[in-house]
Each structure stands twice: as structure tokens, then as C-alpha cells.
Amino acid sequence: MAGFLANFSNVIIPVIIFYIVAYGLINKVQVYEEFIGGAKEGLKTVVGILPTLVGLMVGVCVLRASGFMQFLGGILGSFTEKIGIPADIVPLTLVKMFSSSAATGLVLDIFKTHGTDSYIGMLTSILMSCTETIFYTMSVYFLAAKVTKTRYTLAGAIISMLAGLLASVVLAGMVV
């Protein structure tokens, strides 16, 4: 299973690239020109998030260097480590519910401390790939419809997030 997952991960990107370019050619798209245009937009996006990234990475690193994260992690971790969730994952999961960029700051900090290919690095990678910013999305979308009573939305969102966390713990254990 782990071998198959690794194979699939390695093959998927070239396959997607091939498919998109071939499909574009068949449909007579100026593939190269469009690619350049899109790439330009992509660069603009990255430059646009640079200030956010500087701000949040500084914030997270200050918090970690102060020793506060270890202090907090020590308290939370004693409960969660029994079920295979390392201490660093708890604040990460909570922050991700509010802000994707703040979570990115924590992710990079975990990668720096534990490496990307360790159990916790892999768990972080998978977890961030299968969860969303619940509160942010809900507040923006419901505002568009002027809805104030959201009924069972939050419960559903949190249940699916916990399902993602469970899947991440199991899968990270299999892959690493």
C-alpha cells in the first residue's frame, strides 16, 4: 500500500501536465502563450502573499523562540499523544480553522524543527491538505447571502475536519 501511494504520488504531476497540454493542443489553444499569461498571474499571487508570510512567520517564530509553544505543547500534548497526535498538531488544527496563512507559519516551523519526512512532518503535510479554514469560509459565504443562523453547518464542518485528522494520523503512520 505504501509503495503504491509513493508511486501514484510520483506519477500524477507529469500525467496532469501531459493531459492539460495535450487537451489544449487538440482544442487549438495557443498553449505556450496562455501558459505564460497564467504564469504571470501566478507570480503576482506569490508577490501578493509575501508581506503576509513575513508577518506570520515572524509571529510564529517569536512565539516558538520564547519557549511559549513548548510550554503550551507540553500541556496539550500529554492528552493527545496517547492517540497518536503529537503536541504541535493541536494548535495547528485550531489555527487552521481560522486562518490558512497563520497555519502556514506553524507548518513551516514544524518542518524546520522535525523535518518534512518525519512522522509529524508527514502528518502535518496530509492534515493541511485535507482541511479548510472553516470559520473564515463560513463567515464570508454566509455574509453574501445575509444569513445569520447557520444551523448545522458548523457541526458538519467540524465533523469532516475530525475525519480528516483521523485519516491523516492513520495515513501518516502507513507512509512513514
When asked if residue 82 is in the footprint of another protein (CB under 8 A), the reply is no
For residue 89, the minimal CB distance to another protein (Å) is: 14
Interaction mask 19-58, another protein, x per CB under 8 A: -xx-xx-xx-x-x--xxxxxxxxxx-xxx-xx--xxxxxx
Q: Is the dihedral of CA 57, 80, 73, 116 positive or negative?
A: negative
Q: What is the number of other CB atoms lying within 10 angstroms of the CB of residue 60? A: 22
- Measured from the CB atom, is 75 or 174 closer to another protein? 174
When asked if residue 153 is in the footprint of another protein (CB under 8 A), the reply is yes
When asked if residue 76 is in the footprint of another protein (CB under 8 A), the reply is no
- Grid cell of 153 as nine digits: 453547518
Q: Which of residues 84-113 bind another protein (CB under 8 A)?
A: 95, 98-99, 101-102, 104, 107-108, 111-112
When asked if residue 150 is in the footprint of another protein (CB under 8 A), the reply is yes
- Measured from the CB atom, is 80 or 101 closer to another protein? 101
Amino acid at 92: L
CA dihedral 116, 118, 121, 125 (to 10 degrees): 80
- Give the single-character DSSP code of 21: H
Residue written as cell 512565539? Answer: 63
